[in-house]
Amino acid sequence: MEQKFDVIIIGGGAIGICSAYYISKNGLSVAVIEKSEIGKESSCSFGNAGLISPSHFVPLAAPGMVAKGLKWMFNPESPFYIHPRLDSELLKWLWRYFRACNEKKMRRGIPVLYDLTHESLQLFKKINAEEKISYGFQHRGLLMLHNTVAGEKANRHEAHLAEEVGVEARLLNNDELNKLEPNVKILSRGGLYFPDDGHLIPDQFVNAMAELAKKNGVAFFSQTEVIGFEKKQHRITSVVTQNGKIGGKEFILANGSWSPLLMKKLSLNISVQPGKGYSVTVKQPVHLPKIPFILTEARVAITPMGGALRFGGTLELSTINLTINERRVKAILNAVPAYLDDMRLHTVNTKEAWAGLRPCSPDGLPFIGRFKTISNLIAATGHAMLGITLAPITGKLISEIVSSEKTTVDISQLKPNRF
């Protein structure tokens, strides 16, 4: 007999799991369907940099990004790369991105990201206070290091924007940087400090939240891929998997970079492109900083995770594949010595790198809300570089949409059909 739930969540990454957590707290029956295993490598929520970033209030689509992107695009060692291919969805996405890279759109997006990231940080604190879980959460800020005049100019601009929006940010010189983070010798000429950022160990976070959801009665179907839908008029009645059908009243699309593929089954479009990134985790680093870094020019994130140190970066608009380009992984590690002294990364085995697919929207804002044409289908995808940061607030918003409550944050700019 077909199993039935109030809410079916497709995808067991950070977004799907946090949605399950908040919806189940409202007493509804919930099922999470995951084609792999919860909290495992193939999900983007596994090996990312784990930064909780209220500092990232400027959307990815911003003025100057197109020129920068064009410069980087054909350099296989640059932080941004497009795997050259003729793909109409990619071309449409790039056109939309190009159109979003202007001052007006960026300024429209900033308050939205500000609200989302700030509310999410409050929710992390609430989870920490209310639940007995540990996942390496630290609230020590973020240092954006710069080595060049252009990098300093970019961080100065960021500091001005932060002041306008009300995000605390301080420009520091080399001495001040080294005083703030004495565990490693910083070589950079300066940096921008965001004291309110946090960080965590992402796979531990997803697994801990999944355990809480399980305690709330959420059912988990792992190794189960949603391959289609059954519909009655404008509503979905069940998802079809290789193991049979599972029925529901509401359906949450939380399968990250895979969402456009699945939406084709419903003849719907959602403008998400996979943005591949890599990370390497050094288990016993020679120096272990307490505060995470972003290397401004190289676009590399360095995060302490327990006793380990993770180096992550690159955004490669690719197809859905998790193959690792070692040259790009090496480029991440090779960037470090110009910023931090004596990290001894030459012995790191780049074959052990992890790859993940960020679900990228063209305007740098996630898709959160109901689809117009299928009234019981809700999008929770497109979080790009911010999926860990925004997982709690997304989960909360999804639970509010399901229960027809007023949403904590205005979601009118996050409609799934906005392109």
Ligand X SMILES: Cc1cc2nc3c(=O)[nH]c(=O)nc-3n(C[C@H](O)[C@H](O)[C@H](O)COP(=O)(O)OP(=O)(O)OC[C@H]3O[C@@H](n4cnc5c(N)ncnc54)[C@H](O)[C@@H]3O)c2cc1C
Residues that bind ligand X (CB under 6 A): 10-16, 33-36, 42-45, 48-51, 53, 225-226, 254-256, 258, 262, 277-279, 301, 312, 356, 358-359, 381, 383-389
Dist CA 399 CA 387 (whole Å)? 17
Is the distance from CB of 46 to CB of 53 less than 8 angstroms? Answer: no
Dist CA 300 CA 312 (whole Å)? 6
Nearest residue (CB) to ligand X, 258 versus 339:
258
Nearest residue (CB) to ligand X, 331 versus 384:
384
CB of 138 to ligand X, least distance (A): 13
CB of 312 to ligand X, least distance (A): 4
Could you give the residue ranges of the DSSP H alpha helices within 238-318?
259-263
Dist CA 208 CA 211 (whole Å)? 5
Dist CA 15 CA 256 (whole Å)? 8
Nearest residue (CB) to ligand X, 126 versus 160:
126
Nearest residue (CB) to ligand X, 102 versus 350:
350
Nearest residue (CB) to ligand X, 132 versus 314:
314
CB of 384 to ligand X, least distance (A): 6
Nearest residue (CB) to ligand X, 119 versus 150:
119
CB of 149 to ligand X, least distance (A): 27
Contacts of 308 (CB under 8 A, 6+ apart): 281, 282, 283, 284, 285
Residue appearing with tokens 């990231």: 117
CB of 322 to ligand X, least distance (A): 10
Would you state the structure tokens that stand for residue 344, as one six-digit string? Answer: 């001894």
Nearest residue (CB) to ligand X, 102 versus 237:
237
Dist CA 405 CA 397 (whole Å)? 9
CB of 375 to ligand X, least distance (A): 21
Dist CA 332 CA 311 (whole Å)? 7
Cα 124–chain centre separation: 15
CB of 64 to ligand X, least distance (A): 22
Q: CA distances (Å), 334 to each of 326, 327, 329, 350, in order?
A: 12, 10, 9, 11
Identity of the residue numbered 111: P
Would you state the structure tokens that stand for residue 140, as one six-digit string? Answer: 């020590």
Q: CA distances (Å), 39 to each of 155, 210, 321, in order?
A: 34, 9, 18
Nearest residue (CB) to ligand X, 106 versus 226:
226
CB of 185 to ligand X, least distance (A): 24
Contacts of 209 (CB under 8 A, 6+ apart): 14, 17, 18, 21, 127, 133, 391
